[in-house]
Structure 1
Amino acid sequence: MPRALWLLIIGMAVNVTGSSFLWPLNTIYIHQHLGKSLTVAGFVLMLNSAASVVGNLFGGSLFDKIGGYKTILLGIGISLASLIGLTLWHGWPAYIVFFTVVGFGSGIVFPSMYAMAGAVWKEGGRKAFNAIYVAQNLGVAIGAALGGIVADYSFQLIFLANTLMYLIFLLIAIFGYKGIEVDNANQTSILRENTAVKSYKKLYALLVLCVGYLLCWVAYVQWQTTIAAYTQEVHISLTQYSLLWTINGALIVLGQPLLILFHKKFTSTLKVQMIIGNIIFIAAFLVAANVTAFSGFLSGMIILTFGEMLIWPAVPTVANDLAPKGREGFYQGIVNSTATGGRMIRLLLGGMLVDWYGISMLFVVLIILFFISIFTTIVYDRKLKEVKKVSVNLPS
């Protein structure tokens, strides 16, 4: 991999490690330390996610106008200023304001990181985005683990630790990203589009694909909310539940050689890769719907992890391949905002379904969502292929 990509990988890992100090403990802090209800805690998370969606779209467009270096510095600057404020004033209502602004700042950063990764290693294809994806999960694992340790000692140190990690990220960006050149003149596409394909056709294809991507995220994050609550009802301990996510992170990092072998044998195209990923997701939820023992949920988590390893890096790769020259950031902004939007919707959908119809209905609905995602994956590039076919048949 190019040196520039390694710098992006390290920066992403540090960035996510910092944010992972705080977000897993957000609900606990608001409920237990600030004395607010769980509903209020959920509302604060929604504000953070909504701000991140706006930041994704703004950051993606800004990347296309002023470049990745300045955009990333702006996002880090906004997040760092908010975290300094959060470190000094983390009472109510200051907490809700600073936490929301942090979401906006971090949202600006992510599309640029992905767009730059695709630009600095074009020949790497999905490998570049997979590397960024692995770095994110490594950051989540390290940050969540260290966050729990720091919080046990002093919850206030969580804010300081988060701030220090973002300061390190800022230094990496200042000294590491300034020299990264982003030249999209030779960009290629998995679909081999020609000049007859208009930009709106590519945008339409991405939006159709992102419908399924959003549904996948809505379903996936139920493991962190409604399914988490369900495990408590069937007497799975918190330690065992936490172990599921430890295994998830370890598999993502350590399972890369197996993933490479899988790609060589079974995933000839990104479309096939995403369809297989959705089928694996369905299998994971079928397992979870029919077990009550820890070993069953462990099996479901292992299956789920292999599904996300196929889908999560693939969609940014397709976005990079679809993006017209000069619009790479905007397309990555759409992808990142879709993922954030899916995480935001799950706060309402899962709880409402379980409260009204029970956990069994939730699993049925989630599996239906995956089938819809398979359909959108199959048809997302149909208009592009139609235009290509017409262009080829035109008389010269």
Structure 2
Amino acid sequence: MTIFRQTYAQIKLFPSVFWILITAVFINQLGNAAFVFLVLYLTKHLHFSVMQATYCFAISGVSMFLTGLLGGTLIDRFGSVRMMVNILILNGITLICFPLLQHFYSVFMMCIVWGCIFGLYRPAGQTFVSLLAPLGFLKIAFTVYRLALNLGMSIGPAIAGYLALHSFPAIFRMNGLSNILAAIILFVGFKNSSWMNYTPTLEHQFEFSLKWLKRDALLRWFILGLIPTQMVFFQHETTLAVFLARDLHFSSGFYGLLFTVNTLMIVFLELPLNVAMLSWRARNSLFWGSFFITLGFLGFYFAYLKWHIILLTMCWTIGEMILFPATSTYISDLSPEGRRGSYMSIYSASSNMGIFFGPLVGGIIMEQFSSHALWLSCGLWGMMTLMIFAYMPMLPRKAV
């Protein structure tokens, strides 16, 4: 119990600027629901076809991915907090204006703008967390950051769901206003600090962050191992809902219950779990996090009762709680001095690849073959990750 007391005592001593960031992240996440409701908004409010709505959703993800390849240089050059303020203001204006557009091509173009802007937010935020974290508490800092994200996500979509009953455009306005409010919190909190007047330690030319994959073998190992398990993990936002409704005939309310189970576990268990794992090597956390995610989704092959689904959801949630703080910590520890934004952008781009290709390939497998073929495929993708992480070279220094 000593390690828990010491860690929680240390968390209370985290610098005040860290808690300003966490507050802004939470406020932003409270309203961050427009992307979740985008397809519903386009099909039910604007009466787009499902294919048109899918194109708009997909182009947003592709834009986020492409922005990530270039955005790291911007973060390294101008500083993460300055980038966050500007991104949130621009994204807020974009979303407030979004409901003004009614025609497919104008909405499609706005989705490109939206994706390009917001694709920089998460790598900038994660870069700033890594810079503010006290020495030796990097993983704990990322766990607190994820706690703020998940608390916000447990409330924001619920508010948006209520707004959707009365006005779909109000969801976008709420999202935009929460972006701007978060930007104001960051600006006021950091306006007199050195973080807002950031000066890079290195000369930065505008270049694709992708070049670091050519130079850093450990980074290549990491990204190569991460993408398959990301493809597995993001089935929970798409094909899992179809499997539950079409194959098992469970209600959408039960699908929503799984997110409640997931969020409650993260809110109450992720921090103590990662405190208990502080002494773990990074490779062990990456391996076992991926293992539980793979086991959870492969297990759907055998599931047919509600308690099976809940138990498997708890399984992949354990994997999520282990894996994602470890990945952020690993990439922070791996990045060279002055290049953390570039490395975080590559990490974010790999996540966006999982978000895009996982549901796309999963949907094709489910449609052309069966749900059981999809869950077997998830097992194979997960095994690829486990093999890579099992034999991945160790970091030259320990990620904590």
1:369 aligns with 2:388: no
Report 1:251-290 matches (<5 A).
Answer: 251-260=265-274, 262-263=276-277, 268-290=280-302
Q: Is the 8 Å Cα contact of residues 151 and 158 (structure 1) preserved in structure 2? A: yes
Q: What corresponds to 2:241 in structure 1?
A: 228
1:74 has 2:53 as partner: no
Aligned residues: 369
Q: Is the 8 A contact 2:91 2:117 kept in 1?
A: yes
Question: How far apart are the structure 1 equivalents of 2:377 and 2:213?
Answer: 32
Aligned residue number for residue 112 of structure 2? 100
Match of 1:340 in 2: 352
On the 8 A contact 2:229/2:294 being kept in 1, the answer is no
Counterpart in the other structure of 1:165: 178
Q: Out of 49, 57, 63, which is 1:45 matched to?
A: 57
- Hey, what does 2:149 align to over in structure 1? 136
Correspondence for 1:313: 325
Matched with 2:257 is: 243
Match of 1:5 among 4, 8, 18: 18
* 2:140 alignment counterpart: 127
Q: Secondary structure at the match of 1:19?
A: coil
2:158 is aligned to 145
Separation of aligned partners in 1, 2:165 and 2:118? 26
TM-score, scaled relative to structure 2: 0.86
Q: Amino acid of the residue matched to residue 270 of structure 1?
A: A
Provide the secondary structure at the position in 1 that maps to 2:23: helix
* Letter of the 1:286 counterpart: L
Is the CA contact 1:212–1:370 (under 8 Å) kept in the aligned structure 2?
A: no
Q: 1:210 aligns with which of 196, 219, 223?
A: 223
8 Å CA contact 2:72, 2:345 repeated in 1: yes
Offset from partner CA, 1:347-391 (integer Å, 9 cap, x none): 320111112221111111111111111122233336x66xx9xxx
Q: Distance in 2 between matches of 1:356 and 1:229?
A: 14
Q: 2:393 aligns with which of 357, 374, 381?
A: 381
User: How high is the TM-score relative to the length of structure 1?
Assistant: 0.87
Shift of 1:177: 3.4
Unaligned runs of 5+ in 1: 186-198, 389-396
Cα drift, residue 57 of structure 1:
3.0
CA contact (8 A) 2:68 2:349 kept: yes
Contact 1:77 1:105 in 2 (8 A): no
Identity of aligned residues (%): 23
The alignment partner of 2:37 has SS state of: helix
* Cα distance change of structure 1 residues 139 and 289 upon mapping to structure 2, 3 Å threshold: same
Q: Quote the Cα distance in structure 2 between the aligned partners of 1:146 and 1:170.
A: 21
Q: What is the aligned partner in structure 2 of residue 189 from structure 1?
A: none
Cα deviation, 1:86-139, whole Å, max 9, x if unaligned, reads: 143355333222233222211112112111111111411211112222222222
Q: Is the 8 A contact 2:92 2:175 kept in 1?
A: no
SS across alignment from 1:133: helix
1:159 corresponds to which letter in structure 2?
F
- Could you say if the C-alpha distance between residues 291 and 347 of structure 1 is closer, same or farther in structure 2, counting changes exceeding 3 Å? closer
2:293–2:316 Cα contact (<8 Å) kept: yes
Name the CA shift for 1:57/1:128 in 2 (closer, same or farther; >3 Å).
Answer: farther
**Does the 8 A contact of 1:212 with 1:376 survive in 2?**
yes
In structure 2, C-alpha distance between the alignment counterparts of 1:148 and 1:51, rounded to whole Å: 26
